[in-house]
Amino acid sequence: MDFLAHWGLTLSVFLPIVGAALIAFTPKEQEKTIKFLSLAFTFLPLVVGVLLLRVYHIGMTGMQLETNRSWIPSIGARYHVGIDGISLPLLELTLLVTFLCAIYSLKWLPEPHNPKGFLALMLLLETGMAGTFIALDLVLFFIFWELVLVPMYFMIGLWGGPRREYAAIKFFLYTLFGSVFMLLGFLALYFRASPHTFDVLQLQRIGPSLPSGIQNLIFLGMGIGFAIKVPMWPFHTWLPDAHTEAPTVGSVLLAAILLKMGTYGFLRISIPIMPHAARTYAPLIGALAVIAIVYAALNCLAQTDLKRLIAFSSVGHMGFVMLGIATLTQIGVNAAVFGMVAHGVITGMLFFIAGSIHERYHTREIPQLGGMALRLPILGGLLAFTAIASLGLPGLAGFWGEVLALLSSYNPLSALSSHTFRVYMVAGGIGTVLTAGYLLWMIQRVNLGKVPAQWEGKKLVDVQPLEMVAWAPLLLLTLGLGLFPRLIFDVTTHSVIGLTKLLGG
Partner 1 sequence: MQIDYAAVAPELVLTGALCIVLVVDLVLPDNRKGLIMPVSLLGVAGTLLALLALAGDPTRTTLGGMFVVDSFAVTLKILFCVAALLTLAMSYDYLRKEGIHQGEFYFLLLCSLLGMLTIASSRDLLPIFVSLELVSVPAFVLAGLQKIDVKSNEAALKFFLFSILSTAVMLFGMSLIYGITGTTNLAEIAVRLAATPVLRSIAVLSVFFVVVGFGFKISAFPFQWWVPDTYEGSPVPVAAFLSVASKTAGFVGLLQIMFIAFHGLADVWRPFIAAVAILTMTFGNLVALTQRHIVRLLAYSSIGQAGYILLPLAVVNVNGGSVNHEAFAASIAYLLIYAFMEMGAFSVAVAYGREGGYFIDDYAGLGYRAPGLAVVMTVFLFSLAGIPPLAGWAAKLFIFRAVIDGHEYWLAVAMAVNTVIALFYYAKVVRRMFFEPAGDGPLGVKVPLLLQATIAVSTVMVLLVGILPDLAAHLARMSTLV
User: Angle 149-237-220 (CA atoms, 0-180°, nearest 5)?
Assistant: 75
Single-letter amino acid, residue 205: R
Residue 214 binds to partner 1 (criterion: CB under 8 A): no
Of the pair 141, 320, the CB lying nearest partner 1 is at 141
Please return the burial class of 74, using the count of CB atoms within 10 Å of its CB with bins 0-12, 13-18 and 19+.
Answer: exposed
Nearest to 255 by CA among 405, 386, 403: 386
Residue 184 binds to partner 1 (criterion: CB under 8 A): yes
Residue 188 Cβ vs partner 1, minimum distance, rounded to whole Å: 6
Residue 177 binds to partner 1 (criterion: CB under 8 A): yes
Residue 2 Cβ vs partner 1, minimum distance, rounded to whole Å: 27
Residue 169 binds to partner 1 (criterion: CB under 8 A): yes
Residue 183 Cβ vs partner 1, minimum distance, rounded to whole Å: 7
Nearest to 384 by CA among 335, 440, 325: 440
Residue 135 Cβ vs partner 1, minimum distance, rounded to whole Å: 12
Q: Yes or no: say if 231 and 258 are a contact pair by the CB < 8 Å rule.
A: no
Residue 214 Cβ vs partner 1, minimum distance, rounded to whole Å: 11
Of the pair 113, 419, the CB lying nearest partner 1 is at 113
Residue 161 Cβ vs partner 1, minimum distance, rounded to whole Å: 13
Give me the helix-helix angle, 418-447 and 275-302, nearest 10°.
30
Contacts of 127 (CB under 8 A, 6+ apart): 13, 14, 16, 17, 20, 144, 147
Residue 251 Cβ vs partner 1, minimum distance, rounded to whole Å: 18
Half-sphere exposure of 488 (CA within 13 A, CB side): 30
Residue 194 binds to partner 1 (criterion: CB under 8 A): no
Report cis status (omega within 30 of 0) of the bond before 283. Answer: no
Residue 72 binds to partner 1 (criterion: CB under 8 A): yes
Of the pair 56, 166, the CB lying nearest partner 1 is at 166
Element (H, E) at 133: helix 115-134
Q: Number of residues in contact with partner 1, rule: CB under 8 A?
A: 32
Residue 271 binds to partner 1 (criterion: CB under 8 A): no
x/- site string to partner 1, residues 372 to 391, per CB under 8 A? Answer: --------------------
Among 100, 121, 136, 147, binds partner 1 (CB under 8 A): 147
Residue 199 Cβ vs partner 1, minimum distance, rounded to whole Å: 16
166 vs 163: CA distance, rounded Å: 6
Among 104, 118, 133, 181, binds partner 1 (CB under 8 A): 181
Q: Yes or no: say if 488 and 82 are a contact pair by the CB < 8 Å rule.
A: no
Of the pair 177, 410, the CB lying nearest partner 1 is at 177
Residue 220 binds to partner 1 (criterion: CB under 8 A): no
Residue 195 Cβ vs partner 1, minimum distance, rounded to whole Å: 14
137 vs 369: CA distance, rounded Å: 48
Residue 142 binds to partner 1 (criterion: CB under 8 A): yes
Span of 153-161, 320-328, 340-348, 434-442 interacting with partner 1 by CB under 8 A: 153-161
Report in angstroms the alpha-carbon separations of 24 from 31, 43, 131. 12, 18, 21
Give me the helix-helix angle, 306-327 and 330-361, nearest 10°.
170
458 vs 330: CA distance, rounded Å: 54
Residue 368 Cβ vs partner 1, minimum distance, rounded to whole Å: 28
Residue 426 binds to partner 1 (criterion: CB under 8 A): no
Of the pair 3, 191, the CB lying nearest partner 1 is at 191
Among 2, 29, 74, 457, binds partner 1 (CB under 8 A): 74
Contacts of 30 (CB under 8 A, 6+ apart): none
Q: Applying CB under 8 A, which residues contact partner 1? A: 71-75, 139, 142-143, 146-147, 149-150, 153-154, 157-158, 164-165, 168-169, 172-173, 176-177, 180-181, 183-184, 187-188, 190-191
